[in-house]
Structure 1
Amino acid sequence: MPTKVHSRAAAWLGGALRFATLAAALAGVPAYAGNQKEEAMADSVRLALANAIADTRPPKPSFRDEAARVRYQAWFTEMSARLKKRLPDEQSRTEFLESAWYESTRAGLDPGLVLGLIQVESAYRKYAVSIAGARGYMQVMPFWAKVIGDNDRRKLFHMQTNLRYGCSILRMYIDMERGNLYLALGRYNGSRGRPQYPNAVLAAWKKWEFNPVQVAQR
């Protein structure tokens, strides 16, 4: 679970982004890729996203209580087992899951949703590049580096940076769509209103859902 600090940050970011209009990010799976374009955004949105991206704290989990720590450890153990075939190196897998959990919860997202989106976008390939030029795990378009970053597109292949961009952008779209995840996913892919991409991500999410009760009963 996110800490109070993370929850406040997500709420602040969501409030700043809720009234904005902004470009869609893109997908890395050609079957779902849409026509991406950059649009104008409010200065408040640009600043909120830039501040979120610029936070340099390491992606190390912190917990409000012991129960939250135990739940995270159970989630980590389960996800590590599921991800082992895709990311066989233990250290790389550990760093990836720590970052994915941190950036997901920081943005107020279910980590399972983010893992499902990554499965659809890049199939967990760190250096994936789409036909449209989207990069990395969450297939972030290079123009985002200029709009809300330091214009260094190479950083989009950095694991934590890519996850931070992707989670922040998805959070923005969810707020723009007033919590409608289906439409928000369409915006992320540049195919708002068409079912293929949202349905693919929602189906993948089910594969990465975590139910501590079911895990305990095995």
Structure 2
Amino acid sequence: MTGRSASVVLPPSLRVWLGLIAALAALVVVVLGVLYAGHSEPGTVDRWIIQPTADSVRPPWRNVALATDFLGEPVGAATLVVATVTGCLLLRRRRAVVLVVAGVCLTVGTTTLLKPLVGRTIHGDDNLSYPSGHTAFLTALALVVALLASGRLGLGRTAGTSLVLAAALVAGAAMGWAQVALGAHYPTDVLGGWCTALAVIPATAWLVDRMAGWLVDRMADAGRRERR
């Protein structure tokens, strides 16, 4: 494995499959956004799932939901990002640092932009709900960590894709459950947030690798010209 291939944040063996998954996830986000645009009530899919009331989720599970929800709040999210960035710096993975920051910011930024466009609300007109930013954030961070682990461990296409999807599923399911249990989002809001992360992170990782490769090539060309 060359130095350049070892430093990539989107392992070559995963590019095709994750690209297809990202495209499908983006389609789901768009379709759900169109279906629930301007709605303020749970949809048919949401009604299939039990809708918790204010007192249906009680301690200790309510405490678990609140603790999970905190991970998506500004302080909790910042703590997770700083910890992840610190780990990348300790491993001397500068490209990974860029992916962590850019990937998380773009994912959360996408949900922030989509909410007023879709206009779906919960508990009043001021509470825009689609897609879930909390779910998107935790899923995005899990995807980034899984991508980096897959590359570092040298996993193949099947094992690497399985690891990435499993990490996304666990993180998305945990935060999604917390959001629905606390009444902050409809289940389809959670699905939209999960799919937003699945669409944004692989694309961001690909862009980070492309830009980093371009910069390396430019620096190499400049060095060759100086030696002439």
State the TM-score, normalized to the length of structure 1: 0.28
Greater RCO, 1 or 2 (C-alpha within 8 Å, sep 6+): 2
Greater helix percent: which structure?
A: 2
Taking structure 2 as the reference length, the TM-score comes to 0.28
